[in-house]
Structure 1
């Protein structure tokens, strides 16, 4: 019983109190301090998991499931919590007003929503029954949707409503699947369900329930072909909100998709679903990558890039289904590393895009010639973050894609290898569109306003974070195996 799990959920919510009682500036600083404290608790969870070599558990009110609600943090959960613990406070600091600059800071509502998101994300990563996961997804949705329309513009409100409709559609599908599962097994706890599934092979009804839940999660994660809400929502939101949405919010439903098919579904059922999920991932990488190349606006380009990059996780499913534990573990590590490195690089790129748009007054690519003279640090952050998307060394995206490629080649999954390479080329095309323009001689006078250097520095720190992940060894990470149903710790080629 580890109280760290409960504290990681509840402490961020304490930051709502100063925001409601104090003046906006003082309330934001107090809320930010509490957000940092909550992030420290999340990192402490990861440290404890690594130190003990086992998953942490907590039963609310001391009641074990199915009577009570269980929280559990294994290696996979702890890695995702650590990702949020690092990225979210930096985005919140970026959202504060720069002293002496005309640009307005983010409204206090942003910091309230960021605190709510921190708690909802941790709940999604730790909850151990399907209904509590549904609650976490709903909390996440109703904290994320307002981020899209913080400025109150008509285009933002339309994008927020589209996002809300897709999210509610996904919620209905997920909840229908939960109802089917409860009708079949009279429990929603993941451990109890796994035990029941081990005793007798499930029928088509359980497969239908998993399919419904998966479709709902795909809608919430904007996974191809249910990605239509993401580009207008992420590109129209304020830069700090876009960074949160793209880097963190969509990771929770992707995490749960992995939980369903890697941890809960029987192997035969998971093997049957893996090609379908991989096809959706390939479609995301190729279709959204091509569409990103055609965008005229920088933030819209980055938004379509987000829809493309999350497809790499789905390529992991057929590769991890192999009987060879080492190559399965390598694919699993590559998919997880891609999720984490994507969060760092995409947050940095949206921040950089916001600073460039702030300096130029727009984000039209055609008018950004010479941007490196106006916003050198922002362009550097965008380019370094883009290294990870392209899969160039030494970025984390390179290490992740090499793992996926190696596993694919060892299993003769040539089409997956081709998709990974094609996705890297497409990413290179749309990342270099801005970099090449920014380095060109401008056709007209450049704006007098320059980038906010400390904000650009935050983006640069996140971009270098994505690069630092590339120095992890090209081997399965034992940490991710802690608490997993099938462990592969210590396996070496």
Structure 2
């Protein structure tokens, strides 16, 4: 089942390139059903039989390519499949206004999925690099779809950031390979020592991944790219794409190079996260465009992920476990909430014809479902109960208390208040002001797709134990030969 999750998106990417345009739309839903079904079946298989190491072509590592399917990776695979499916349903109706863009959207969409699945399953650092490259090129292409001057500039800035980040990451990979003769994550975890070579390699890879994740102050490319792209593209980028590079960063710091990481460096990473929370929130509060508000919100919310490092390194095992669980829940909750928020905002902008926040008066009467989805997403981003965002921030707060790091506790509390401040700007205008312009009706599927994702962000608060228990399945079973357990 493991390689199927790479075969499906690659096959449909090729099909959508080769088939006539009127056939492409007909195969989207079958492809999504296969993708979600394969992810669910793999989750069930891992839950019942434990993690697996699949050797492609019966070639074992380090000569062959290993696909690692454990509790963490299958959780991310399921997350990707669900969010991508709902974004694709939204895109089918949204892109009817963009016939030229629709032709190129679907191949890029499937290549993006293949890259994400490849990253979640990769068992070595080089195949993570391959996944990052395919992911970056697909994402840049999706940003540039409209071919407008502003989006082309944003896509070029994104491309330069992605290429520089990849070069820095690859340089670190080369250093590690020269020092240890392997790129297997499992082997490097046992072999990597706290020497200058490892630390330089880790520093290079960290800078590259911070740039790809758009962590403050290396976030310059994200707001124009996410804010200027088409709504379903923005949703995929903010919900999934930036999480892939963070996933690799966490893997390097907490697993591969754990012995080479210092407490001082971890605190510095936390400081970058705090800067992202404050700067992103302030910019979101100031902007006049609704999509830029949501884009800067992504910059701010990514800052919470960076608090994993000071809360998990150089502290007690209990505090580190709380930090890890809180970070994972935040990653999941933010993915659902931010995808829902971008889809909801895309629907509102479609109804109004523009995205100026000051002209949002009256949308509460004409587009209540989309605004409700925006509100539910905001509940999770603010960390209010009973959402998944609340559980995530509660665990992070407990970790800060347990480790005696009260400064991070204060950062998170202020961050929640700042989130409420910029979110309520939208509600104040929507409910207290009358409509200034004509508001058009939108297709119900657009509003319902956003609502479904927002409800998932809230529902995560009730079932948080499920992904956390699944992610505890990390001990790999003996490698499977030819796909047979």
TM-score (norm 2): 0.94
Alignment of 1:377-396 (within 5 A): 377-396=369-388
CA contact (8 A) 2:202 2:252 kept: yes
- What is the aligned partner in structure 2 of residue 36 from structure 1? 33
Quote how far apart the aligned CAs of 1:20 are. 3.2
CA contact (8 A) 1:261 1:270 kept: no
Quote how far apart the aligned CAs of 1:151 are. 1.2
Q: Choose from 46, 61, 85 the match for 1:89.
A: 85
- What is the aligned partner in structure 1 of residue 453 from structure 2? 462
Matched, 1:440 2:432: yes
Structure 1 CA distance, aligned partners of 2:291 and 2:435? 22
- What is the aligned partner in structure 2 of residue 182 from structure 1? 177
- What is the aligned partner in structure 1 of residue 481 from structure 2? none
Label 1:64 to 1:475 Cα distance change in 2 as closer, same or farther (>3 A).
Answer: closer
CA contact (8 A) 2:140 2:159 kept: yes
Alignment of 1:190-209 (within 5 A): 190-197=185-192, 201-209=193-201
Matched, 1:47 2:44: yes
Matched, 1:247 2:244: no
Matched, 1:483 2:480: no
CA contact (8 A) 1:275 1:318 kept: yes
Q: Choose from 447, 462, 483 the match for 1:471.
A: 462
Higher-RCO chain (CA-CA 8 Å, sequence separation at least 6): 2
- What is the aligned partner in structure 2 of residue 489 from structure 1? none
Quote how far apart the aligned CAs of 1:184 are. 0.8
Structure 1 spans left out of the alignment, 5+ residues: 486-493
Structure 2 spans left out of the alignment, 5+ residues: 477-485
Corresponding residue SS for 2:385: coil
- What is the aligned partner in structure 2 of residue 490 from structure 1? none
Corresponding residue SS for 1:470: coil
Structure 2 CA distance, aligned partners of 1:297 and 1:98? 20
Label 1:17 to 1:135 Cα distance change in 2 as closer, same or farther (>3 A).
Answer: closer
Matched, 1:60 2:27: no
- What is the aligned partner in structure 2 of residue 491 from structure 1? none
Structure 1 CA distance, aligned partners of 2:137 and 2:160? 12
Alignment of 1:63-462 (within 5 A): 63-97=59-93, 107-197=102-192, 201-267=193-259, 269=261, 271-321=263-313, 323-442=315-434, 444=436, 446-462=437-453
Quote how far apart the aligned CAs of 1:26 are. 2.5
Quote how far apart the aligned CAs of 1:450 are. 1.6
Structure 1 CA distance, aligned partners of 2:368 and 2:422? 19
Quote how far apart the aligned CAs of 1:346 are. 0.6
Quote how far apart the aligned CAs of 1:104 are. 5.6
CA contact (8 A) 1:344 1:462 kept: yes
Deviations 1:331-387 (A, max 9, x none): 111100101111111111111111111111100011111221221111101011011
CA contact (8 A) 2:388 2:464 kept: no
Structure 1 CA distance, aligned partners of 2:262 and 2:107? 39
CA contact (8 A) 1:97 1:104 kept: no
- What is the aligned partner in structure 1 of residue 482 from structure 2? none
TM-score (norm 1): 0.93
CA contact (8 A) 2:93 2:446 kept: no
Quote how far apart the aligned CAs of 1:303 are. 0.3
Deviations 1:384-426 (A, max 9, x none): 1011110011111011000000111121110111111111111
CA contact (8 A) 1:370 1:441 kept: yes
Range with greater deviation from structure 2 (223-232 or 29-38):
29-38
Structure 2 CA distance, aligned partners of 1:405 and 1:398? 10
Quote how far apart the aligned CAs of 1:23 are. 3.1
Corresponding residue SS for 1:442: coil
- What is the aligned partner in structure 2 of residue 488 from structure 1? none
- What is the aligned partner in structure 1 of residue 480 from structure 2? none
Quote how far apart the aligned CAs of 1:12 are. 1.2
